[in-house]
Structure 1
């Protein structure tokens, strides 16, 4: 596959989920430099954060990056998910805060602004990451497995000890069309009993029913309900796609995830990289 960037510069302004601040984000075409975040609110020369697996940190509630100077960028997984499906490998993201805009809690608006800007093919190739042998990672009751497959397929199972949200499973073969129709619109979610804790810890200050699903004892608080009956597992697939994008490689294989999350996703990405290096 050829490396790709945007055809033109594009800007988006929106609220950040955790700080609740207005964020200005500018996407600038680049050539062969990978995905780079530039914090324009910080000192020049210390504000560049490269997207690499070595720069990931604090994976409890999202996927975040930092550089050696302490500059940080939070909640990048929805954006990376859209970049993966659009095959964008090279981009400079100028941003005036420490987190990306949350939009409606899905990847839909990110994909829309990418497609509106247009996609430009570059001269250099990017090598596919092909799963040639079974790989598995288990931490407690959380599992991720990779198997050989001619394409990119994800099977995901979630299970919660909750009166409304229990178990969901979905399997999907990924391409641009299936992602746009089945995954991109799925929103992030949380539970009503978490709200007080999050607010007390200065988290989810920008969270509303317009950008997240809030699960209550017998349903959801969102007045318009769910976009899919199994929207929760669809969003987990969206997150997994974004988390594995830190490798910045197209993936060929079947990924099976059971009760995984950002921390396990990134550990699995590290394992994929290590296993490929051994094979090579």
Structure 2
């Protein structure tokens, strides 16, 4: 695959999920250098955060990056998911805060913003990560398995001990069309009993029913309901695609995830990287 960037710079502003503050995001084309986050609100020289495995940290409620100076950027997985499917490998993301705008809680706004200016193909190639033999990773009751496959397929199962949200499973062969139709619009979600805890710990301060699904005992609080009956597992697939984008390379294989999550996703990315380096 050829490396790709944007045709020209484009801006987007929105609310950050956890701090609840307005964030301005400026996407700047780059010919080389990979995916680079630049905190324009911080001191020059210490404000550059590269997308790589070594910079990931604090994976409890999202995928986050920080550099050696402590500059951090939070909740990048939805944006990375859109970058993966649009094959963007080189880009500078200028931000005036420490997290990305949440949009409507899905990846759809990032697709629209990027496609509004178009994509530019670069000269250099980027090699695929090819799953050549079975790989697996387990942490408690969370599992990820990868198998050889001619394409990129994800099978995901979620299971919750909840009166409304129990088990869901979905399998999708990923391409731009299937992603846009089946995955991109699926929103992040949480449970009503978590809201007070999150607010008290200065998290989800920007969370509303306009940018997240809130699950209650017998349904969801969102007045318009769900976009898909199985929107929850679709969003988990969206997250997984974004988390594995930390490798910034296309993936060829069948990934099977059971109750995974950000921390296991990133550990699995390390496993994929180690397989490539052998």
The equivalent of 1:99 in structure 2 is 99
The equivalent of 2:238 in structure 1 is 238
Shift >4 Å, 4+ stretches = none
The equivalent of 1:112 in structure 2 is 112
Aligned to 2:82, the other structure's residue is in SS state helix
Q: Measure the CA separation in 2 of the matches of 1:65 and 1:32.
A: 20
Q: Measure the CA separation in 2 of the matches of 1:166 and 1:26.
A: 39
The question of 1:63 aligning with 2:52 is answered no
The question of 1:4 aligning with 2:32 is answered no
The question of 1:50 aligning with 2:28 is answered no
The equivalent of 1:159 in structure 2 is 159
Q: Shift in Å at residue 161 of structure 1?
A: 0.1
1:45-103 Cα shifts (integer Å, max 9, x gaps):
00000000110000000000000000000000000000000000000000000000000
1:216-257 Cα shifts (integer Å, max 9, x gaps):
000000000000000000000000000000000000000000
1:175-227 Cα shifts (integer Å, max 9, x gaps):
00000000000000000000000000000000000000000000000000000
Q: Shift in Å at residue 25 of structure 1?
A: 0.2
Q: Measure the CA separation in 2 of the matches of 1:248 and 1:17.
A: 24
- List gaps (5 residues or longer) in structure 1: none
Q: Measure the CA separation in 2 of the matches of 1:32 and 1:160.
A: 42
Q: Shift in Å at residue 32 of structure 1?
A: 1.6
Aligned to 2:37, the other structure's residue is in SS state strand
Q: Measure the CA separation in 1 of the matches of 2:27 and 2:277.
A: 32
Aligned to 2:62, the other structure's residue is in SS state coil
Q: Measure the CA separation in 2 of the matches of 1:46 and 1:117.
A: 29
Aligned pairs, how many? Answer: 278
Q: Measure the CA separation in 2 of the matches of 1:276 and 1:31.
A: 25
Show the 5 A alignment for 1:152-231: 152-231=152-231
RMSD, matched Cα = 0.3
- List gaps (5 residues or longer) in structure 2: none
The question of 1:40 aligning with 2:40 is answered yes
Q: Measure the CA separation in 2 of the matches of 1:248 and 1:205.
A: 30
Q: Measure the CA separation in 1 of the matches of 2:197 and 2:177.
A: 38
Q: Measure the CA separation in 1 of the matches of 2:116 and 2:234.
A: 24
The equivalent of 2:263 in structure 1 is 263
Q: Shift in Å at residue 276 of structure 1?
A: 1.5
Q: Measure the CA separation in 2 of the matches of 1:50 and 1:206.
A: 26
Give the TM-score normalised by the residue count of structure 1.
0.99
